[in-house]
Amino acid sequence: MKLRSMKVFCDVVTRRSFSRAATDNKITQSATSQIITQLEKRLGVKLLDRSKRPFTVTDEGRQYFEGCHRLVRQIEELESSIRHLSDATEDTIRVASIYSVGLSTMRQFVQRFHEHNPNIHVQLEYHHPQKVYELVTTGHAHLGLLSYAESTKSIAAIAWRAEPMVIVFSNEHPLAHHQELSLHALDGLEMVAFNHDLRIRQEIHSVLTDHGVHPNVVMEFDNIETLKRAIEINTGFSILPKAHVHRELTSGSLGTADIIGNTLIRPVGIIHRNNIPLGSDIEKFIEVLINDENILPEQHPNNHLASASAMETASTNLSTFPNSNSPLLADRQE
């Protein structure tokens, strides 16, 4: 019961709506409100300030949300792995992906792929990057989707996307309405960041440190969708791939600013076991994935099934920046 209440609370915060959270959990809006009230009574603190329209998340609520989100995600991952043991078949393409590859866009792609290839079943699971490598290396997943994909003796990497990154903030943030900002403008500001053990967090931190910029990280998450929800409630700014905030820019719930003088790039790749035949179904899945124009259009590399060496070359070209060893920074090509 406590876990269900935690999930409902997380959904209310991430969806920014009691009614949408109620629909997601197949309960009434009244029941959703009662769950939040009971949580607040049991904890002895206010999690949401409902005197404002729309409601805001209190400091206690933000801290509780961060912990609850982590626990709910761990349970969902455990249940997914258990289902994987009983449901996987030889005709299933098993894909392991990091959370920040784009949860909604990947689900939509898998649905489209299945509609055009009804005889090919795709099982998509989300994991920590290290777990993605582990699942592919051991053969428990045919493919892995992750940023900063690297080839090893047992793993081959295929170039997929090169995602320009921007500064992201709510419309109430002091940075709002800026179309361009220098990295120095971020010094000392509150930041919503990726978890500290993720490669993208380490690369962003390295770039900021190289420029003498030290933001105050107030919240950490392992996926872009939750990061965006935290930014929307004005918890702080973040640095995210621009293509992943297209929906929020269209709706007006978030704003972005290009980074003056630099282009920050997040390379995203596909990995599979080296020197092991993929099979026609998996090769077809990779080719359709790379060429699908509905997944972050104009972000694909020109080569289709690129070799690992080709990916390394592409990454080098994208990531050359004077006085920096970080592959996140690239000379501006615009």
Mean per-residue pLDDT, 242-266:
90
Q: How far apart, in whole angstroms, are the C-alpha atoms of residue 299 and residue 26?
A: 36
52-103, pLDDT tens digit by residue?
Answer: 878 889 999 989 998 888 888 788 777 766 655 544 445 789 999 988 776 6
pLDDT exceeds 60 at position 300: no
49 Rama sector, left if φ>0, alpha if ψ -120 to 50, beta otherwise: beta
What is residue 294's predicted lDDT score, i.e. its pLDDT? Answer: 61
pLDDT exceeds 50 at position 260: yes
pLDDT tier at 326, thresholds 50, 70, 90: very low
Share of the chain above pLDDT 90, in %: 42
What is residue 170's predicted lDDT score, i.e. its pLDDT? Answer: 95
25-52, pLDDT tens digit by residue?
Answer: 889 999 999 999 999 998 999 999 988 8
104-123, pLDDT tens digit by residue?
Answer: 678 888 888 988 888 888 99
pLDDT exceeds 50 at position 318: no
Q: Which domains does the chain have, with CATH numbers?
A: 2-74 (1.10.10.10), 77-161+267-318 (3.40.190.10), 163-264 (3.40.190.290)
Q: How far apart, in whole angstroms, are the C-alpha atoms of residue 103 and residue 98?
A: 9
